[in-house]
């Protein structure tokens, strides 16, 4: 007895003194707070029986070995017989049915490949807490969910829970280069240590897989879409193979980016023409070799004819001809070809907003069945807020996946706390009115409205070698939230914020209210101090950090001036029928409402309309004044986030507290910088008086223009 007491005290002591550096992510198992739940868990952990043996069950066993001692102070006991000593049953439906004939008690046939059933099963008078999947990975998902419920205080021993993901490919896209730099990565270098692979296995690979599996992510593309053909050489395949082997027990498939010109660069051919027999043979051979190394290889992800990446247009072939050629090489192996719709070319003299639809709508019906077109959430480029991409709803016979950006390229990078879930939720819930009057982006992407058979949600990863993985502790919330939304795109941001907060900071209800409030306000705050009322792409040139509404460097026609179009008369991009007509790419219901500046939601106003500075807004105030008030509101919200956070001093782990607190201090300064720089600039153009309600900026426009970021991270390498 005494021994246990000492052990328990030691445990509590060591946990309290272990500085939280963020490495454990949301899997930072702690003593279960609720005492009834703790004793239930204690009992359950004392007899765990697996109905089979496979690498996924071994992964579960390891997870329980890690979690149980931290949660209850005791190691778990794995029993070798399924009845007497046993409290928990873990297995697939088939395994349980064969042994016990439980088909009728647990019918999960409809839960698909990855679903699970969890709850009490009565057998010969005794109750067993049971987690069942159709495949072992379903059991793994169920176990993670169960551990999460213990950690967040929602576990109910008597309740049956059934879950299955709504999206098939729940995928992270790494923009990681082979030299370990990360394009738009703000958390250090790439976690893929290509140099030391295949020989050396960094323990991070396993923790990465655990974290992803715990939120349902089942696919990763390891390499940058600005691709390097070397990843397809035999040497690199062997390296990727090791990662695939590590990820497999966790249900994660590996994808790689395929550089369209690889036949020339590593195949010694003179062309990469997708209709050339030698090119076709190259890709077939390469792909066959890939499957010899990685039998469950997911497929290729391709960025073609965009921002200088090679593609089929060089050979006067279409995106469909390019994609189908690669898809044909993958098809015999069950692989998927993901082709990005982010086409951005300076050759086309059209509003950039229109390019994807112009190129892809005519190709509807021409793509092979195993092709998915991956579409960014909006038509420009991961701006703080964008209306949904008009490709959603515009094609009928093409599989469309959505691509979100978890890394905060345009949203303060790893310095600012911006919880992205509300932004994604806004996009997913957007009504497209096509193919049915009630369709939404989520309904198209999950197939329920579109009927598409292959479904995909991809997120550009924010993960790097920083000890806490994401640079900013709250970057973890974005990774977490992305995973949860791939599982169920109809979840609310509030629920996700609550889950993550409990797993990260514990269950204290007062802390929870405050942290949730900070998270849920943070996106609107950033939109307000960066790009309110539909403004977009007015950030600093190339690094995309900090304000740059005056920027004309580089290609003058594609920088801030192009997007905000401010002149002495007004501001905004006219995309209605009097302007670029990009609005015509949406459904008639949207065209009707949004072409009217009185009806369009004000959050999209300047995205679609060029209006006089004196235009009267819904509030009765002028547009110029509203712009000012929105910027100012952004600053106020940032200050409020900071002051709310300060009330958590002493109430949460000091290391976590101080990390976020310092970053919030910077965020407030940057919010002020954004507001002052943008308002001084727009004032210089509009020649309107500075709104009197707003704090007068220190420094003049020249001062703000002179601020530079010599060390802005995550810029694409220039070689
Ligand atoms: O957002 C832009 C980025 C580029 C990126 C590109 C893309 C990978 O600025 O760095 O390149 O989008 O999505 O392809």
pLDDT, tens digit (0-9, with 9 covering 90-100), for 125-144? 999 999 999 999 999 999 99
- For residue 18, pLDDT beyond 80: no
In a domain, 514, yes or no: no
pLDDT tens per residue across span 345-379: 766 778 999 999 999 999 999 999 999 999 999 99
If asked whether residues 146 and 173 sit together in one domain, one would say no
Which tokens hold the place of 602? 């004000």
If asked whether residues 58 and 157 sit together in one domain, one would say yes
- For residue 103, pLDDT beyond 90: no
pLDDT tens per residue across span 467-484: 999 999 999 999 999 999
Helix, strand, coil shares of the chain as percentages rounded to 5? 45, 10, 45
Q: pLDDT confidence of 327, banded at 50, 70, 90?
A: very high
If asked whether residues 119 and 173 sit together in one domain, one would say no
pLDDT of residue 719: 29
Residue 198 preceded by cis peptide, ω within 30: yes
Q: Which of 473, 491, 509 is the last residue of a domain?
A: 491
Taking residues 312-338, report their average pLDDT: 98
Q: Which of 183, 401, 713 to mutate to test the pocket of ligand 1 (most atoms within 8 A of CB)?
A: 183
| CA 638/CA 563 separation, integer angstroms | 25
Strands 161-163 and 116-123, how do they pair? antiparallel
| CA 88/CA 380 separation, integer angstroms | 50
Q: pLDDT confidence of 542, banded at 50, 70, 90?
A: confident
CATH code of the domain containing 310: 3.20.20.80
pLDDT of residue 13: 43
- For residue 540, pLDDT beyond 90: no
- Max Cα distance, the chain (Å): 83
* Atom in ligand 1 nearest the alpha carbon of residue 544: 9
Q: What residue numbers bound the domain in which 142 lies?
A: 31-163
CATH code of the domain containing 156: 3.30.379.10
> ∠ CA 261-264-268 to the nearest 5 degrees?
160
Q: Which of 472, 491, 510 is the last residue of a domain?
A: 491
Terminal alpha carbon distance of the chain: 65
* Atom in ligand 1 nearest the alpha carbon of residue 309: 14
Assess contact for 597 and 605: CB atoms under 8 A: yes
Pocket of ligand 1, beta carbon within 6 A: 175, 183-184, 225-226, 303, 307, 342, 381-382, 409, 716
Q: pLDDT confidence of 19, banded at 50, 70, 90?
A: confident
* Atom in ligand 1 nearest the alpha carbon of residue 184: 10
Atom 7 (ligand 1) nearest CA: 342
Taking the centre of ligand 1 as the mean of its atom positions, its distance from the CA of residue 226, in whole angstroms, is: 8
If asked whether residues 77 and 124 sit together in one domain, one would say yes
In a domain, 272, yes or no: yes
Taking the centre of ligand 1 as the mean of its atom positions, its distance from the CA of residue 349, in whole angstroms, is: 20
Taking residues 43-72, report their average pLDDT: 98
| CA 150/CA 37 separation, integer angstroms | 7
Taking residues 667-683, report their average pLDDT: 96
If asked whether residues 148 and 276 sit together in one domain, one would say no
If asked whether residues 138 and 174 sit together in one domain, one would say no
If asked whether residues 159 and 175 sit together in one domain, one would say no
| CA 378/CA 427 separation, integer angstroms | 8
Q: Which of 109, 136, 163 is the last residue of a domain?
A: 163
| CA 557/CA 547 separation, integer angstroms | 18
If asked whether residues 175 and 143 sit together in one domain, one would say no
In a domain, 325, yes or no: yes
Taking the centre of ligand 1 as the mean of its atom positions, its distance from the CA of residue 259, in whole angstroms, is: 15
| CA 454/CA 459 separation, integer angstroms | 17
From residue 688, alpha-carbon distances to 415, 494, 534, 701 in Å are: 33, 40, 20, 15
Q: What is the mean pLDDT of the chain?
A: 94
**Tally of domains in the chain:** 3
Assess contact for 539 and 679: CB atoms under 8 A: no
- Of the candidates 417, 465, 431, 29, the one whose C-alpha atom is nearest the C-alpha of residue 204 is 465
pLDDT of residue 524: 98
Q: Which of 173, 174, 175, 301 to mutate to test the pocket of ligand 1 (most atoms within 8 A of CB)?
A: 175
Which tokens hold the place of 634? 């952004």
In a domain, 694, yes or no: yes
Instruction: Using only the alpha carbons of the chain, give its radius of gyration.
Output: 26
CATH code of the domain containing 643: 3.90.1330.10
**Residues labelled as active-site residues:** 307, 381, 409
Assess contact for 29 and 21: CB atoms under 8 A: no
Q: pLDDT confidence of 716, banded at 50, 70, 90?
A: very low
If asked whether residues 329 and 213 sit together in one domain, one would say yes
Taking the centre of ligand 1 as the mean of its atom positions, its distance from the CA of residue 303, in whole angstroms, is: 10
In a domain, 337, yes or no: yes
pLDDT tens per residue across span 394-441: 999 999 999 999 999 999 999 999 999 999 999 999 999 999 999 999
* Atom in ligand 1 nearest the alpha carbon of residue 175: 8
pLDDT tens per residue across span 592-636: 999 999 999 999 999 999 999 999 999 999 999 999 999 999 999
Chain-centroid distance of CA 540 in Å reads: 24
If asked whether residues 106 and 224 sit together in one domain, one would say no
- SS3 category, 202: coil
Atom 11 (ligand 1) nearest CA: 226
If asked whether residues 173 and 154 sit together in one domain, one would say no
If asked whether residues 228 and 111 sit together in one domain, one would say no
In a domain, 548, yes or no: yes
Q: Which of 226, 403, 548, 713 to mutate to test the pocket of ligand 1 (most atoms within 8 A of CB)?
A: 226
Burial class of residue 276 in the structure, from the number of CB atoms within 10 Å of its CB (0-12 exposed, 13-18 middle, 19+ buried): middle
The DSSP element (H or E) to which 628 belongs, if any, is helix 623-646
| CA 117/CA 193 separation, integer angstroms | 37
CB atoms < 10 A from the CB of 534, how many? Answer: 24
In a domain, 303, yes or no: yes
**Contacts within 8 Å (CB) and 24+ apart, 441-446:** 441/377, 441/388, 441/392, 441/402, 442/489, 442/490, 444/392, 444/393, 444/400, 445/167, 445/392, 445/400, 445/401, 445/402, 445/489, 446/166, 446/167, 446/489
Strands 116-123 and 456-460, how do they pair? unpaired
In a domain, 588, yes or no: no
Atom 2 (ligand 1) nearest CA: 381
């Amino acid at each position: 007895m005494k021994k246990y007491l000492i052990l328990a005290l030691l445990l509590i002591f060591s946990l309290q003194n272990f500085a939280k550096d963020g490495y454990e992510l949301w899997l930072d198992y702690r003593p279960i707070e609720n005492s009834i739940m703790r004793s239930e868990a204690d009992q359950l952990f004392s007899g765990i029986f697996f109905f089979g043996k496979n690498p996924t069950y071994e992964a579960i066993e390891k997870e329980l070995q890690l979690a149980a001692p931290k949660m209850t102070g005791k190691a778990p006991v794995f029993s070798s017989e399924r009845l007497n000593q046993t409290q928990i049953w873990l297995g697939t439906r088939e395994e349980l049915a064969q042994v016990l004939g439980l088909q009728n008690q647990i019918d999960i046939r409809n839960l698909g490949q990855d679903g699970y059933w969890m709850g009490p099963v009565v057998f010969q008078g005794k109750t067993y807490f049971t987690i069942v999947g159709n495949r072992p990975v379903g059991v793994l998902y169920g176990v993670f969910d169960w551990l999460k419920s213990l950690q967040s205080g929602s576990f109910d021993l008597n309740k049956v829970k059934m879950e299955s993901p709504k999206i098939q490919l729940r995928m992270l896209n790494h923009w990681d280069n082979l030299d370990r730099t990360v394009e738009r990565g703000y958390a250090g270098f790439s976690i893929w240590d290509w140099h030391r692979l295949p020989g050396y296995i960094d323990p991070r690979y396993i923790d990465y897989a655990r974290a992803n599996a715990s939120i349902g992510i089942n696919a990763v593309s390891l390499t940058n879409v600005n691709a390097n053909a070397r990843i397809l050489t035999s040497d690199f395949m062997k390296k990727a193979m090791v990662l695939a082997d590590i990820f497999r027990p966790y249900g994660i498939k590996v994808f790689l980016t395929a550089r369209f010109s690889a036949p020339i660069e590593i195949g010694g051919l003179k062309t990469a023409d997708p209709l050339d027999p030698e090119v076709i043979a190259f890709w077939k051979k390469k792909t066959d070799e890939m499957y010899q190394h990685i039998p469950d290889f997911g497929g290729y992800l391709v960025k073609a004819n965009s921002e200088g990446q090679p593609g089929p247009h060089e050979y006067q072939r279409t995106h469909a001809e390019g994609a189908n050629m690669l898809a044909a090489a993958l098809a015999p192996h069950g692989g998927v070809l993901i082709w990005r719709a982010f086409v951005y070319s300076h050759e086309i003299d059209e509003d950039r907003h229109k390019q994807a639809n112009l190129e892809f709508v005519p190709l509807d019906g021409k793509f092979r069945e195993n092709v998915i077109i991956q579409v960014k959430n909006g038509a420009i480029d991961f701006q703080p807020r964008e209306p949904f991409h008009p490709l959603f709803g515009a094609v009928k016979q093409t599989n469309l996946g959505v691509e979100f950006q978890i890394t905060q390229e345009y949203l303060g990078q790893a310095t600012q706390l911006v919880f992205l879930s509300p932004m994604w939720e806004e996009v997913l819930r957007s009504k497209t009115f096509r193919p049915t009057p009630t369709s939404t982006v989520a309904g198209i992407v999950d197939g329920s409205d579109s009927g598409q058979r292959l479904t995909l949600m991809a997120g550009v990863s924010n993960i790097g070698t920083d000890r806490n993985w994401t640079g900013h502790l709250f970057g973890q919330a974005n990774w977490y939230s992305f995973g949860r939304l791939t599982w169920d795109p109809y979840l609310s941001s509030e629920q996700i914020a609550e889950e993550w907060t409990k797993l990260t900071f514990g269950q204290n209800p007062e802390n929870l209210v405050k942290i949730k409030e900070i998270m849920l306000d943070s996106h609107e705050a950033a939109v307000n101090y960066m790009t309110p009322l539909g403004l977009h792409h007015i950030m600093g040139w190339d690094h995309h950090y900090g304000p740059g509404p005056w920027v004309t460097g580089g290609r003058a026609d594609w920088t801030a001036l192009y997007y905000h179009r401010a002149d002495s008369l007004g501001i905004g991009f006219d995309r209605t029928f009097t302007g670029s007509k990009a609005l015509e790419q949406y459904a008639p219901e949207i065209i009707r409402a949004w072409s009217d500046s009185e009806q369009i939601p004000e959050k999209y106003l300047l995205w679609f309309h060029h209006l006089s500075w004196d235009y009267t807004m819904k509030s009765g105030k002028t547009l110029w004044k509203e712009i000012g008030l929105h910027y100012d509101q952004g600053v106020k919200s940032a200050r409020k986030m900071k002051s709310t956070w300060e009330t958590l001093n002493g109430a949460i782990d000091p290391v976590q507290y101080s990390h976020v607190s310092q970053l919030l201090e910077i965020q407030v300064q940057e919010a002020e910088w954004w507001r002052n720089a943008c308002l001084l600039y727009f004032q210089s153009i509009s020649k309107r008086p500075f709104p009197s309600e707003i704090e007068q900026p220190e420094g003049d426009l020249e001062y703000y223009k002179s601020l530079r970021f010599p060390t802005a991270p995550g810029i694409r390498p220039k070689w």
